[in-house]
Homo-oligomer: A and B are copies of this chain.
Amino acid sequence: MTDGSTHGSTLGVGMVGYAFMGAAHSQAWRTAGRFFDLPMQPDMAVLCGRSAEATAAAAQRMGWRHTETDWKALLGRDDVQLIDICTPGDTHAEIAIAALEAGKHVLCEKPLANTVDEARAMVAAAEKAKAQGVRSMVAFNYRRVPAVALARQLVEQGRIGQIRHVRATYLQDWITDPEFPLVWRLQKDKAGSGALGDIGAHIVDMAQFVTGDRISGVSALTETFIKERPLPESSSGLSASGSSERGEVTVDDTALFLARFGGGAVATFEATRFATGRKNGLRLEINGSAGSLAFDFESMNELSFYDAGEDPDTAGFRRIYVTEPTHPYVGAWWPPGHGLGYEHSFTHEVVDLVRDLAAGTDPAPSFADGLQVQQVLDAVSRSAQAGSGWEPIAGED
């Protein structure tokens, strides 16, 4: 493969991993071309997993034509032009770099890597591959929720003016029970960090995406409320059953930080798995000189917008029900008023990626964007370990 762009009308996909993210990506690959006009049709060529039997079952269920048990085998297959990485963060760097070197496009789940060093190596590989027309993207799917994409549009149009405040939280509660077992997401060697990298990464990316600005420094604290948990007897990411033996929780349960953006805004960020009753409380509020925006994923088809230019008598936060045909991505789906779900964000991600690949343009967010998020997370960790002192975020360039 010499230029990485469109080879005829199909895009052969090889996906590694088939748990939560694998299921979401599969639905996206299956569905994108059914609702959107795509310049290439995705071909769900190969699913890769460690267990031959489980992989075969998953492939049949999810609609993949072939299976492999070693991701390296994907590199040599002619029917694979893109590798979709849906594994835990500790494996991202190795797979992605090898794939890019083999001339395969890469879609990589977030966080890009578990460490800044790994992420840097991935960016280097992506830059090198790009010269060959081989492209890469990190999968911050929430950018493609229509309400979030609309928020970005309104900021770009200047509808809220100069941004002064960002307020971002990602609130979950799935490990409030101290008997919830020590799954891989609670182990530093596998997951890199806890709430910080898993869900904190999403709000960092979303806040930067919607504002169009970057965090320039942070002051942070992290906490692990439950220090020991039962070792898991079985585990698949977000659910598990526990044994009677216990192990140490090596990641944060929550990470909180203050931040400044390059353009002058100040911000609070909070990621936690202990916000009892909040299931997926990914919330963003932005206050600007001319208006405000607010989003909560638990009402994902809505965007709140305040226009300070309105007559004070009738000014107020509007609940925009983001199901109009002119709203981002929405026109491809249903008539007004018929909301979308979580999985649609992945379908939109695939649509945008395929279009970029066909056009030979760079998909966003890039690996460099993923690295920058990683640098913010890293600064958060460092500040938390150093008495919450201010940690500036150094740009790479």
Contact surface of A with B, Cβ cutoff 8 Å: 20, 23-24, 26-27, 30-31, 33-35, 61-63, 150, 153-154, 159-160, 164-165, 167, 169, 171-174, 176, 219-221, 223, 225, 237-239, 254, 256-258, 260, 264, 266-268, 270, 272, 274-281, 287-292, 297-301, 305-308, 312-321, 323-324, 326-327, 333-344, 387-390
Contact = CB atoms under 8 A, between A and B. Distances in A.
29 contacts: A30-B30, A33-B61, A34-B62, A34-B63, A154-B314, A176-B289, A219-B258, A258-B388, A275-B287, A276-B288, A276-B290, A277-B291, A277-B315, A277-B316, A278-B287, A279-B323, A280-B323, A298-B337, A298-B339, A299-B299, A300-B339, A313-B327, A315-B324, A316-B318, A333-B343, A339-B341, A340-B341, A341-B341, A389-B390
A318 B327 contact: no
A61 to B, nearest CB: 6
Given A256-B268, A260-B221, A334-B20, A321 B390 contact: no
A118 to B, nearest CB: 26
Contact of A319 (B267, B292, B308, B319): B319
B321 A318 contact: no
Given A164-B272, A165-B254, A276-B308, 8 more contacts: A23-B35, A165-B274, A239-B335, A277-B292, A314-B318, A315-B320, A316-B320, A338-B343
Nearest to A272: B165
Contacts of A321: 279, 298, 316
A314 to B, nearest CB: 6
Contacts of A159: 314
A68 B229 CA distance: 60
Contacts of A274: 164-165, 287
Contacts of A225: 164, 264
A30 B20 contact: no
